[in-house]
Structure formats: structure tokens, C-alpha cells
Amino acid sequence: MSQNISSVDAEALYRAVLEQIRAAYGEAFGHPDEPGGAVLAGIYSGGAWLAERLARDLNAPGYGVVNVALHRDDYAKKGLHTQASPTSLPFDVNNRRILLVDDVLYTGRTVRAAINELYDYGRPASVELAVLADRGGRELPVAARFIGGVVDVRADATLVLARETIEAGGAQRFTFHTEARAD
């Protein structure tokens, strides 16, 4: 079901992805070192926010953060983002089931860069993808196994995930908004 951006409920998309992952993986994130165990890795920055929250909601012992900056095909044009943090994977990548998490799937280029970065650290047993929003427009043969929803966004706009703290205990809420695309 496709949604227009003005009606996109990022929290509802998050709940949908969380339930899909729970149904597919069961308790695998609580036991990453056992056979069939899995680990979370979020693509900086929106995917990292999602991985952090998924780790908490799935009782995972932690999560990794993947910085794709050096593997992007537009690196020469855009350069390195000044606030980007380096890749941090608190687990051995070799022979792991990795659930790669991102906020928006569009062309597939960011996912390709993230997979290249993961392989710089070792050879996973498998990599699956979870996204909050799939906006179509693929340029590469990339598909997510877990999708919160499909959204319609104008080609000249970017879908941006934001998070805000909603109470003193640190609970957070996700929202989406669009920005003009800067090419």
C-alpha cells in the first residue's frame, strides 16, 4: 500500500518493521553467538537511530553503525560529511547473519555502499535489509526483506527521518519530512 508523504506515520512504519523482524527472527538477536543468531547494523545516520531502537525493542545486546561515506559513488562530488562518525561494529562480521537497517530505500546506492563497507570488515554469512520507507526508484537490483511501507515522494524531494525525545526517560519518536533534493 502506497502512502503520500503528508500522511506517512513513521511510528506506524516502525511498528510494522519491528513486527516483521520479530516474526522472522524470533529471539535470534538476544543470542547472536548461537547458531542462527543475528546482529543489527544501522546505516549512519537514520539507519543507526533505527538500529539503536530495534536493539532495545528486540533485546539485542547491541548494534553496529555503518558509515558509507568512503564507498559512495558520489564521494568525489560530495566529499566526507563533517559530522559523520566512523563505522563501528562491536561484533565480528565473519559468518554472521547481519540485519542491515536504513530509514529510506530509494536508488539502492547507499545500500550497495553499506554492503561494501561491511565486506571491508569480513565476510558475513548473510545480509538482509530492513527499511522504514521504500520510495521506489531503484537504480540497482536491491530489495528489502522488511519494509514498513511504500511511500510516494516527488523525484525532486528527499525523504528525511527525524527523531525527537518525547519524555524525560529518553523515549523517542520518529517522524518524516521532505526537503528539496540537493544534487
Q: Domain-by-domain residue ranges, the chain?
A: 2-180
Q: How do residues 65-102 score in pLDDT, each as one tens digit?
A: 999 987 766 555 555 555 667 899 999 999 999 999 99
Is 100 within 8 Å of 118 (Cβ atoms)?
A: yes
Q: How confident is the model at residue 31 (pLDDT cuts 50, 70, 90)?
A: confident
Q: Look at the domain 2-180 and name its fold.
A: Rossmann fold (3.40.50)
Instruction: Give the 3-state secondary structure of residue 170.
Output: coil
Distance CA 99, CA 86 (A): 19
Query: How confident is the model at residue 58, as a pLDDT?
Result: 95
Mean pLDDT of the chain: 89
List 65's β-bridge partners, or say none.
42, 88
Residues 6+ apart with CB under 8 A from 49: 42, 103, 161, 163, 172, 174
pLDDT for the residue 83: 63
